[in-house]
Amino acid sequence: AQKVTQAQTEISVVEKEDVTLDCVYETRDTTYYLFWYKQPPSGELVFLIRRNSFDEQNEISGRYSWNFQKSTSSFNFTITASQVVDSAVYFCALSPPHSGGGADGLTFGKGTHLIIQP
Amino acid sequence: EAGVTQSPTHLIKTRGQQATLRCSPISGHTSVYWYQQALGLGLQFLLWYDEGEERNRGNFPPRFSGRQFPNYSSELNVNALELEDSALYLCASSSWGHTNSPLHFGNGTRLTVT
């Protein structure tokens, strides 16, 4: 069985602070995919990143960076110099090694509500 | 390119009624997924359709059903509505055949059962 844990239910920081969202996962699959999605107040889930379990390189995209550590089963997400527009619920998700997001569907964490105060 | 569209945006029903939710995938996407996002329960996988067939379903009772049309749009039907069915229902689409292509989500339909 797969499981994704986002222990931080809510995080509140002041604009321009750096913030890290934690994600810990459990799976018996040797290959899998990890995702981060952003859900702004409008409700739509916005895809941010997909990471193959074979690729442990960290990734940076603008103010966003991701730290994948297979040894600790973690896939953490850091926002540098946070902005008010970053306020949203962020979901970490895990997919088995199948096409199209997984025949069993993505397993989502419960999400972290990030509040960026001006 | 138009994204995933869902209708209606909001739906209010009474217990025991039936609800029908609709989803149009991104052009070229053949797979459609339905997720339920209920308060406190996070996102739960409901159904997956591809090429008109149901490929898999999550741990939901049979009164949750759906179908996919030849144009790949999809419908989710919830029969005998219960209060706990109140949730945001999200539809997503992807390109089958591309390994773990990301899901693209719509804005959702918020179903309220009174």
Report which of A110, A92, A1, A10 is spatially closest to residue A51, judged by C-alpha positions.
Answer: A92
Q: According to the model, what pLDDT value does residue A103 have? A: 46
SS3 readout for chain B? CCCCEEECCEEEECCCCCEEEEEECCCCCCEEEEEEEECCCEEEEEEEEECCEEEEECCCCCCEEEEECCCCCEEEEECCCCHHHCEEEEEEEECCCCCCCCCEECCCEEEEEC
Cα separation of B44 and B42, whole Å?
6
Minimum-distance CB partner of B107 among A43, A100, A101: A43
A36 inside 8 A of chain B by CB: no
Considering only residues 36 to 95 of chain B, which have any Cβ-Cβ distance to chain A shorter than 8 Å?
42-43, 45, 48, 50, 55-56, 58, 88, 90, 92, 94-95
Residues of A in contact with B56 (CB under 8 A): 103-105
Contact of B82 with B11, CB cutoff 8 Å: no
Residue A100 to residue B48, Cβ atoms within 8 A:
yes
A77 inside 8 A of chain B by CB: no
Identity (one letter) of the amino acid at B22? R
Query: What band does B98 get if pLDDT is binned at 50, 70 and 90?
Result: very low
Phi, psi of A70 (to 5 degrees): -65, -35
For the stretch B5-43, pLDDT in tens is 999 999 999 999 999 999 999 998 888 999 999 987 788
Instruction: Quote the DSSP letter at residue A90.
Output: E
Residue B104 to residue A43, Cβ atoms within 8 A:
no
Minimum-distance CB partner of B102 among A44, A50, A103: A50
For the stretch A55-75, pLDDT in tens is 888 888 899 999 999 999 999
Better-scored residue on pLDDT, B100 or A18: A18
Give me A87's structure tokens. 């306020």
| Neighbour tally for B18: CB within 10 Å | 11
